[in-house]
Structure 1
């Protein structure tokens, strides 16, 4: 049998094991937003290459990005895969920011959270994970980001075996932890870091700080799946 624990206990175990993550890895709100759009379906290392290319071209802000065409943006972000679609997504967001807020991010983030989130979700190509990453990490809004890593970890820990959509997962988590921007920020970052390095598709259970509590490990320990 696995020992049971709360979501806050999961967070504290990860924090003690990995230390504070200091997310998002961007120096400005503009860079965080650009990175959040570029990181869809690709590793962060590839996003860094694209950001460096943009910087080399003198592009640091969303306003500067808006001045470029989709065709000019695409080759600069080639490392992120699906770069033509992502160039269009970037332009969709910069158009929205220009038309609604005259590139004033402070004005945008001053909007009612529910209203702003609803508006952003209407933008073509921006799903809830990307929108919530922008709101949390660039806007310091209390929204918990749910991604494939989150679902993998919490399912393996046995919190639920229900098939849930994004909103249901988000509600499941936020009902069980305090509403706190710093907690939402670092908890998501802790999960991503663990799942990138340890709780992978082929998990390294032997070095995971959560093994004692892991339903997945208990079910597979007689024939564990470990990485080479």
Structure 2
């Protein structure tokens, strides 16, 4: 079985067991981008509390974030941790978005994916995973998000060495899968759900996992 067929079969196995994910949980594309920045080095529950604070202040827009004193912004996102640093990152991102796309994330969808990704990566504090999350989930551009769950699943299934870097994992999918936003969106979401439910960092539940048939080089 070639890599494309293997990855598509693994995708279908996860989808059959879990059903559609309907990610990313947010009310607007800008909220998605804010969440992608705030989720760095914390869990999603903390991000939700920080975003709720921003909503309470009607501060989920580039203009609102740029118009809010940085100290107030930091206090509102305190639940997400590293709040002073993240406040600076949010303001930098909001400024970039205003200059690059008139403050409208939807406008990013009209630009070249590689150009948008390169521009995002040039923003201080935005690394590959955050850039791809914003590009895919907020802007609807075809790029794959390869996170810690992706690394765990690929390495445990013998598909990637332990020292594989981010771009090697990302290319493992993008080199063979169709350039399809809904597919990339759902695939990454399913990987996260499988990683949380079965492919845990410690005490994984391999026997119950929908990807069990693909362990140890299995091709199902």
- Give the TM-score, by structure 2 length: 0.91
Give deviations 1:140-161, integer Å, cap 9, x for gaps: 1000001011011011111122
The question of 1:208 aligning with 2:209 is answered yes
- Structure 1 CA distance for aligned equivalents of residues 108 and 63 of structure 2: 14
Question: Quick check: 12-21 or 172-181, which moved more?
Answer: 172-181
Name 2:56's counterpart in structure 1. 56
Name 1:134's counterpart in structure 2. 134
Question: Quick check: 177-186 or 108-117, which moved more?
Answer: 108-117
For the pair shown, the structure with the greater C-alpha radius of gyration is 1
Name 1:78's counterpart in structure 2. 78
Give deviations 1:171-194, integer Å, cap 9, x for gaps: 111123222110000000000011
Aligned residues: CA RMSD? 1.6
Give deviations 1:81-101, integer Å, cap 9, x for gaps: 111111111011011122333
Question: Quick check: 92-101 or 149-158, which moved more?
Answer: 92-101
Give deviations 1:16-54, integer Å, cap 9, x for gaps: 011000011111111111111111121111111111111
Describe the SS at the equivalent of 1:123.
coil
Name 1:88's counterpart in structure 2. 88
In the TM superposition, residue 162 of structure 1 has moved relative to its aligned partner by 6.0
- Structure 2 CA distance for aligned equivalents of residues 124 and 156 of structure 1: 32
Where has structure 1 moved over 4 Å in runs of 4 or more?
none
Residues 80 and 162 of structure 1, relative CA distance in 2, 3 Å threshold: closer
- Structure 2 CA distance for aligned equivalents of residues 70 and 132 of structure 1: 26
Name 1:117's counterpart in structure 2. 117
Stretches of structure 2 that go unaligned for 5 or more consecutive residues are: none
- Structure 2 CA distance for aligned equivalents of residues 101 and 21 of structure 1: 29
In the TM superposition, residue 105 of structure 1 has moved relative to its aligned partner by 2.5
- Structure 2 CA distance for aligned equivalents of residues 16 and 45 of structure 1: 27
- Structure 2 CA distance for aligned equivalents of residues 175 and 99 of structure 1: 32
